[in-house]
Each structure stands twice: as C-alpha cells, then as structure tokens.
Amino acid sequence: MPNSPCFTGKTVAWVVDWVFFPKPGEWDGRVILPYIQTDSGQGRTIRDGLRQVDLRKSAMRFVTDARETRGHYQSHKKQQDKTKTSNAAITDAAMQIALATQSVHAEERKWAQDRSSDQSRTPPLPPLHPNTTIVPLIVTTAELLICDFNATDVDGDTGEIPFGKSALSPVPRVLYEFPLPHHLHTFHWNETEMGIRRHIIIVHSSQFADFLENHTVDLVPPERRW
C-alpha cells in the first residue's frame, strides 16, 4: 500500500516524519505472517494460518508505537511551534493494511479450496497456492525515524522526555507491531499475543527497490528461494 503524507502549498511546505519507538527488550528476528499452503497428494488439503519467518535482525528495527510529526520551514525559521504530533495517519494506514490482509487471505483461500475441489478436469488443475506467504507492507514518502531513549529519563509528572535525552535516527524501513481490533482476531497462534497483533513492514519509498532486491528473500519459504 502506497502512502504519501507530505503536503505542499503556495507559501508553506510541510515536513512530515513518522517517528517510531522500539519494542523494549531484544528482538529475536522473527516475523509472524499469514500463509496459505496446499498439501499435494491424494485429496489436496488447504492449510492456512500464521507462520514464523526469521529475518536478519540487521534488516530493520522492531517497533511498537509511532507518532507522525509535522512542521514547516517558516515556523522553523521563526523558532515558533515546530511540530504537531498525531498517530492517526499511521494507525489509519496500518488498519487499511490489516483489513486488506484479512480480505486477500479469505479470498485466496476460497479460490484455492474451489480449485482443489474441482475434480472435473483431466489432468487436475495445479494447486493455486503451493506455499504462499502474505506480507503486509506500507510504502510511504514520510521520513522514517527511530526514537531511542532511556525510560528512566521520562518525567514522571509530564510524561515528557528531555530533548537532549533522546536520539532520532533515520532508517529505511521498520517492522511495526500493530494491535488489531477485536473483529480481526481471526488467526490463531500458540502465543496469544501474536494472534492479536499484525506485523507490518513499513518502507520509505526511496528504499523500496532495495527492499525488494535485497531483503524480500528472507520472507520466502526456504524451498522457494532462488
């Protein structure tokens, strides 16, 4: 899904950043993704659900919270209020992806089942999904930043982090753990937490070609890698 949150006008050019906060603790590099698989043999069986894919941990940062910040050049020069923050745009984009993932999975599974059940053709049709992984993905023109800080530096009264105690680092992509609304809790996983969240990869548009060329191989089942 493409996303372009930058805005321009005759006199104002807005700068839009998506700022993400890393999930506490060490990430083990695994991603949980929906899949559809047709088992061959006498009477094809369609299996589906969630599967674990292991990424190189250097490929991207694992994040669980996000804020969109907006500022513009004139305010920056005048040292006025430089940014406005919200998580609505990121949440809306992630929700669209979650809904689309659910819809695509349900539709593809039905087609695979219908194809597998059709015994009228000789020879029978090949399976529609021998082994398919669905990868939720957002491509955006917003700058992607990671905010690293020490939790002990957060002001207990205001909830604010002193500016000098945080570090913003640009990144080409992140893995975002998006909490799903209850009506999308349709996949089951042996860890309940993973069944109620969706892993979504967010990539900056300028790095999308590099992502496709160098990192998507990690998302392909081993037997289908070239």
Q: What is the mean pLDDT of residues 103-124?
A: 79
The band of 4, judged by pLDDT with boundaries at 50, 70 and 90, is: low
Tell me how far apart the alpha carbons of residues 77 and 95 are, in angstroms, rounded to a whole number.
Answer: 36
Q: What is the structure's pLDDT at 224?
A: 54
Q: Each residue of 8-56: pLDDT tens digit?
A: 444 445 678 999 999 887 777 788 888 888 877 656 788 888 888 877 6
The band of 175, judged by pLDDT with boundaries at 50, 70 and 90, is: very high
What are the boundaries of each domain within the chain?
A: 2-6+15-75+84-219
Instruction: From residue 143, give the alpha-carbon distance in Å to each of 25, 83, 93, 132, 211.
Output: 25, 14, 15, 31, 16
pTM assigned to the model: 0.79
State phi, psi for 82 to the nearest 5 degrees. -90, -25
CB crowding 203-220: b at 16 or more within 10 Å, else e? bbeebbeebeeebeeebe
Instruction: From residue 93, give the alpha-carbon distance in Å to each of 5, 100, 176, 181, 205.
Output: 10, 11, 12, 14, 15
